Amino acid sequence: MDTLYSEFEAYLFQEKKMARNSLDAYRRDIRDFAAFIRERQIENPTEVNNAAVIAYILYLKKEGRTASTINRKIASVRAFYNFLIERGDIKDNPVLRVKTLKTEKSEPEYLSPAEVELLLQQPDSSLKGKRDRAILETIYATGMRVSEIVRMDIGDVNLKMGFAACCSEYGKGRVIPIGSVCRESIKEYLNEARNEIVGDRDEEALFVNSGGKRMTRQGLWKMIKFYAGKAGIEKHITPQILRHSCAIHMIQNGADLKSLQELLGHEDAAATQVYLMASKNRLKDVYDKTHPRA
Q: Does residue 142 contact residue 166 with C-beta atoms inside 8 Å?
A: yes
Query: In this structure, are 150 and 246 located in the same domain?
Result: yes
The answer as to whether 105 is a domain residue is: no
The answer as to whether 92 is a domain residue is: no
Query: In this structure, are 125 and 76 located in the same domain?
Result: no
User: Does the predicted model carry a pTM greater than 0.85?
Assistant: no
CATH of the domain at 187: 1.10.443.10
Share of the chain above pLDDT 90, in %: 63
Last residue of a domain, one of 70, 87, 104: 87
Q: Which residues pair with 177 in a beta bridge?
A: 163
Q: Does residue 144 contact residue 166 with C-beta atoms inside 8 Å?
A: yes
Query: In this structure, are 140 and 25 located in the same domain?
Result: no
Q: What pLDDT, in 10s, does the model give residues 204-225?
A: 999 999 999 999 999 999 999 9
The answer as to whether 93 is a domain residue is: no
The answer as to whether 103 is a domain residue is: no
Q: What pLDDT, in 10s, does the model give residues 93-151?
A: 999 888 888 776 667 888 999 999 999 999 999 999 999 999 999 999 999 999 899 99
CATH of the domain at 51: 1.10.150.130
**Total domains in the fold of the chain:** 2
Per the structure, the complete domain to which residue 189 belongs is given by: 113-289
Query: In this structure, are 154 and 194 located in the same domain?
Result: yes
Query: In this structure, are 129 and 189 located in the same domain?
Result: yes
Query: Cα 242 from chain centroid?
Result: 12
